[in-house]
A = this chain, B = another copy of it.
């Protein structure tokens, strides 16, 4: 792992709000590694908008709703989770913590939720599972130009008990990450799955562009069927959907879930906030399959707004790995707890006793 020194923290973390974690992490990491995680595409206005656009949506408080307490428990594909939150696939978590994805998954499972392992993990999916024999795991696939890699990778995911395959579709090539270019960032850490398949230490010294060069560009609807068959019928979730017709086409082609996302503002520059795109997609999907939402979730109020806008659950990327950096698995768990604590207040003040209540009686108003 070259000379890169990663975090070894293992502790619950004190959180005032999740937005503040970014500054705390920045103070501890090498700039190149930090910005490779934090950064977005182009002028980063989509990245910023992902968060600020939530301010254009107002939640309306409700009174005399006879609410004693609120439950955040929900489920997806039959898997019960304690919060309407799962952990987004984030590549290269060894940059953030020596235990990388092993602790990422451990913390997520401590919080009673589902960990989505990226294709581009530093630890192999076997190592991640070995460190977490019992937790809930989804596998996120970046399809390769090489079919044998795809076969091998899906087989691995199935063998390690992944309960769904997430196909990322908004990254057929790398986004224009100015900070990676400015700092000439090269990964100082190896990518476990790639290294094992290619029989070489394929990560160290690679830039993000090289990584993406291995990836398949021409993703198409037919890939859904392939993944489903190869995985023996696992649910397939299409990640990166922004356009209603694309969601419908994917469902028609067999998709079991739609993940509305703009990749945390890291891929397409000049786009809307992800939350601005959610209502139209949700309207089109019309509850036929579950909708996962990510890109910009930093507060409990954001979760409420996303669910009241049509999502079933949300996913967190940077917040989870910032927690990982600051406290290892327990840090990840602290992030879930903070978001859960904040969401609980919103639910109580809006008279929502359950996640289902947010969907049906949560009142939003346009503040633009």
Contact = CB atoms under 8 A, between A and B. Distances in A.
Contact of A61 (B49, B57, B65, B262): B262
A69 interface: yes
Interface string A274-295: 0011000000000000000000
Interface string A166-194: 00011011111010011000000000000
B65 A220 contact: yes
Contacts of A58: 270-272, 276
Interface string A225-269: 000000000000010111100100110010000000010000111
A269 B346 contact: yes
Contacts of A61: 170, 240, 242-243, 262, 267-268, 271
Nearest to A344: B173
Contacts of A304: 270
A301 B350 CA distance: 31
Contact of A63 (B57, B170, B345): B170
A170 B17 contact: no
A217 B67 contact: yes
A42 B169 contact: no
A218 interface: yes
A63 B238 contact: yes
Interface residues of A, number: 75
Closest CB pairs A-B (n = 8):
A270-B301, A58-B272, A66-B220, A63-B169, A68-B218, A61-B268, A268-B349, A61-B242
21 contacts: A17-B42, A19-B43, A42-B301, A58-B271, A59-B268, A59-B270, A61-B170, A61-B267, A63-B169, A64-B220, A64-B249, A65-B220, A67-B172, A67-B217, A67-B218, A68-B217, A173-B349, A268-B349, A269-B299, A270-B304, A276-B367
